[in-house]
Structure 1
Amino acid sequence: MKENKLIFKVSEETAGKKLREYLRAVEKLSGRLISGAARDGRITVNGTRVKLNYVVKLNDEIGFDVTKEESQNIDPEPIPIDVIYEDSDIIVVNKQPGIVVHPTKSYPNGTLANGLLYYFKEKDEKCIVRLVSRLDMDTSGLIIIAKNQFSHMALARDMGNENFEKSYLAIVHGNIDKKEGTINLPIYRVGGDTIKRIIDERGQESITHFSVLESCRKGDLVKLTLETGRTHQIRVHLTYLGYPLYGDSLYGIGNEDDYIKRQALHAYKLKFPHPRTGEILELEADMPEDMKELLNKIKS
């Protein structure tokens, strides 16, 4: 299998479908992805370009080229990238705290996306930055970036299934009564002019599973796994229950620079099916030094 091409073999059960229907129903490709590839001439059957109304036959070999000439209006910048995993379809990086993921009006440069484009350029890879997951500026940890349109589509499609897990480490004020449990409380955006969220029955269903890994004199180290992925979900849920994150200036106690200079939250583990092979990948990034130092501080 070439790295830039998907190869599908038509079985007896799937023969007789039109090519477009086969790619959507059997291979679970999006209509947008199929149409774009067909328009560019990137789909073949037995080595020959065909139209999408071609009827596939038993043992036909369908080739689907995932490469596509694209560009992004983002300047490449030599920013260090901590690569945890990489292949021809995806790259998973460990984002450092204090870095914005993607350029905004307030942060037009110096973002993770700027660094990734430089990284791709140095490797002579013609990729754009397709973020599969995001983190707040002051949250550290694992982020998935798709290297092509196919892998981005596949990961977005699979994000809601049970094989896709995102787990975090947080250090909170206070000692949680239950050592493990589930928080199921709806999260609502207060208004259009603020990023702050609250617990409110008008909000979206939000589910967080937690377990206390270590109880200290001044707080707990908690593992949290998201079942839903709402903005600020962990921070809102824990604050509402009375256990705000250390260093959380938006939802927590306020300035706590003596302890940590950002919210004590780290996306430490990802589990997800590889977009091409379906193999379950499990990746981890160690808790950063500032959180290790904080943990030592709250023990005394």
Structure 2
Amino acid sequence: MSIVRYTVTKVGNNVKIRDYMKDELNLSGRFIRNSAMGQRLMVNGKEVRLRYRLSEGDEIQVKVTKEENQDIQGENLNIQVVYEDDDLLIVNKPPFMVVHPTKSHPTGTLANGVIYHFRENNDNSIVRLVSRLDRDTSGLIMIAKNQFSHMSLAKSMEQDLIEKSYLAIIHGHLRDKEGTIDRPIGRPTNETIKRAVLEDGQRSITHFKVIEEYKDSALVQLILETGRTHQIRVHLSYEGHPIYGESLYSEFNDEELINRQALHAFRLKLPHPRSGEILEFQCEMPEDMKKLTEKLK
């Protein structure tokens, strides 16, 4: 049984455990309530209720694992695990794989493969996606293995403590070798999944750095400061340098070169949800993008 422990400081003396966990430990109200209702909240080894008043030096203990079920069929999809512990799973998603089951893709998704992986390892976790990627985008995805880690990672994302880096192969050469695209992105109509740079859109910030240039194309590293739908694809297209293989935001026909957008989430940097230790993960550019760079040289 995985347990998170906190030692009560002086400010927690004679304070209700509910208020201390929310105000001092910065835990979500939902997590606190669920822990108490599930009889997973203890002080000094004894189960307590939310109105329990703490004393300085008490140890709050929260069992973060519990019996859970999810209506997703497990499938042996040979998912590539980059990192795993009691709280966190990092996987390298291949291109052409949908992240979560939908009506049009009920099976064969990353979530199906993750559930299979969990059950094969006698792990009762469910799939809690912290990050997502488009079907045709490859690379690293974060999955929380319990409610506590999901809450913690979500807060880290809100506080811009998680850095997501991508590699893209683009048409043409950017004017600057390094810089920032700061353009608002929105949805022109509700009838389309397509996004666009719009004056009344949400502020969207993408940092870029040119890694290598070819005759009339380039390999670019991009870091998202915000995480809007299709953000990198929209920003690069708006700047006149759409990604190779792009279907929504490009007028180029690149089918003979690559059959998906040449975009790969190659690096993640994040604080561990329990310890706060800064973790960094990286995965190689996939073969189809490597082959594309060779063709473009």
Normalising by the smaller structure, the TM-score range is over 0.9
Measured against aligned partners, the alpha-carbon deviations of 1:50-96 in whole angstroms (never above 9, x if no partner) come to 11111110110111000121111111111111011110001000000
Aligned residues of 1:165 and 1:226 also touching (Cα < 8 A): yes
> What pairs with 1:69-84 in structure 2 (closer than 5 Å)?
69-84=67-82
**How far did residue 25 of structure 1 move?**
1.4
Q: Separation in 1 of the partners of 2:78 and 2:250?
A: 30
Letter in 2 for 1:205: R
Q: Separation in 2 of the partners of 1:122 and 1:175?
A: 47
> What pairs with 1:77-156 in structure 2 (closer than 5 Å)?
77-156=75-154
Q: Does 1:42 align with 2:77?
A: no
Q: Does 1:195 align with 2:197?
A: no
Measured against aligned partners, the alpha-carbon deviations of 1:236-295 in whole angstroms (never above 9, x if no partner) come to 000000000000011123541211110000000111100000000111011111111111
Q: Which runs of 4+ in 1 moved over 4 A?
A: none
* Secondary structure of residue in 1 paired with 2:179: strand
Letter in 2 for 1:156: A
Q: Separation in 1 of the partners of 2:182 and 2:25?
A: 34
Q: CA RMSD in A?
A: 1.0
Q: Does 1:241 align with 2:227?
A: no
**How far did residue 34 of structure 1 move?**
0.6
**How far did residue 161 of structure 1 move?**
2.6
> What pairs with 1:1-300 in structure 2 (closer than 5 Å)?
4-299=2-297
Aligned residues: 297
Structure 1: segments with no counterpart, 5+ residues:
none
Q: Separation in 2 of the partners of 1:137 and 1:41?
A: 39
* Secondary structure of residue in 2 paired with 1:13: helix
Which of 10-19 and 267-276 deviates more?
10-19
User: Percent of aligned pairs with the same residue?
Assistant: 56
* Secondary structure of residue in 1 paired with 2:165: strand
Measured against aligned partners, the alpha-carbon deviations of 1:88-130 in whole angstroms (never above 9, x if no partner) come to 0010000000000000111111000000000000001001000
Q: Separation in 1 of the partners of 2:253 and 2:114?
A: 32
Q: Separation in 2 of the partners of 1:13 and 1:30?
A: 19
Letter in 2 for 1:14: G
Q: Separation in 2 of the partners of 1:255 and 1:15?
A: 67
Aligned residues of 1:247 and 1:253 also touching (Cα < 8 A): no
Letter in 1 for 2:251: I
Letter in 1 for 2:228: R
**How far did residue 163 of structure 1 move?**
2.8
Q: Separation in 1 of the partners of 2:54 and 2:68?
A: 30
Q: Separation in 1 of the partners of 2:121 and 2:136?
A: 28
Q: Separation in 2 of the partners of 1:287 and 1:198?
A: 27
